[in-house]
Amino acid sequence: MSVIGRAKVLVVEDDAAFSRTLVRALVGAGHTVESASDGAQAIARLDETAFDLVLSDLAMPLVGGLDLLRAVRARDTELPVILMTGAPAIESATQAVELGALRYLTKPLEVSALRKLVGTAVAEYRESRALRKRNHKEDLSALSESFDRALATLYMAYQPIVRPAARQVYAYEALVRPTERGLDNPGRLFAAAERLMRTQELGRVIRDRVASQLAASPCELVFVNLHPLDLLDDALYSPDAPLSRFARRVVLEITERAALEDLGDVPGCVAALRRLGYRIAVDDLGSGYSSLSSVAQLEPEVVKLDLSLVRGIDGCPIKQRLIQAMVEMFARLGNAVVAEGVETADEARTLRELGCELFQGFLFARPHAELKTPNW
pLDDT at residue 258 in the model: 52
- Tell me, yes or no, if the pTM score tops 0.75: no
Least confident range from 138-152, 229-243, 250-264, 306-320: namely 250-264
pLDDT at residue 288 in the model: 53
What is the average per-residue pLDDT within 168-191? Answer: 94
With pLDDT > 90 as the criterion, what percentage of the chain qualifies? Answer: 68
Contact between 335 and 280 (Cβ < 8 Å) = no
Confidence grade of residue 244 (pLDDT, cut at 50, 70, 90): very high
Contact between 7 and 29 (Cβ < 8 Å) = no
Q: List all residues 6 or more positions away from 203 whose beta carbon is below 8 Å from its beta carbon.
A: 226, 227, 229, 230, 233, 236
pLDDT at residue 291 in the model: 66
Q: Helices 186-196 and 199-214 sit at what angle, rounded to 10 degrees?
A: 130
Strand partners, 162: 169, 359
pLDDT at residue 257 in the model: 46
Confidence grade of residue 256 (pLDDT, cut at 50, 70, 90): low
Radius of gyration of the chain from Cα atoms? 30
Strand partners, 226: 254
pLDDT at residue 133 in the model: 80
**Could you tell me the domains of the chain?**
8-132 (3.40.50.2300), 154-359 (3.20.20.450)
Contact between 67 and 39 (Cβ < 8 Å) = yes
pLDDT digits (tens, 9 = 90+) for 343-371: 999 999 999 999 999 999 999 999 999 88
Confidence grade of residue 290 (pLDDT, cut at 50, 70, 90): low
pLDDT digits (tens, 9 = 90+) for 3-53: 445 889 999 999 999 999 999 999 999 999 999 999 999 999 999 999 999
Confidence grade of residue 1 (pLDDT, cut at 50, 70, 90): very low
Rounded CA-CA distance 293/262 in Å is 13
Query: Does the pLDDT of residue 235 top 80, yes or no?
Result: yes
Rounded CA-CA distance 175/158 in Å is 6
pLDDT digits (tens, 9 = 90+) for 190-209: 999 998 999 999 999 999 99
What is the average per-residue pLDDT within 285-299? Answer: 74
pLDDT at residue 296 in the model: 83
pLDDT at residue 53 in the model: 95
pLDDT at residue 321 in the model: 96
DSSP H/E element including 352:
helix 345-353
Confidence grade of residue 181 (pLDDT, cut at 50, 70, 90): very high
What is the average per-residue pLDDT within 215-223? Answer: 90
pLDDT digits (tens, 9 = 90+) for 104-139: 888 888 999 999 999 999 999 998 888 888 777 778
Query: Does the pLDDT of residue 101 top 90, yes or no?
Result: no
pLDDT digits (tens, 9 = 90+) for 59-98: 988 888 999 999 999 898 889 999 999 888 877 778 877 7
Residue ranges of E strands in the chain: 8-12, 32-36, 53-57, 81-85, 103-106, 155-163, 168-177, 222-226, 250-254, 279-285, 302-305, 336-339, 358-359
Rounded CA-CA distance 66/101 in Å is 9
What is the average per-residue pLDDT within 261-278? Answer: 90
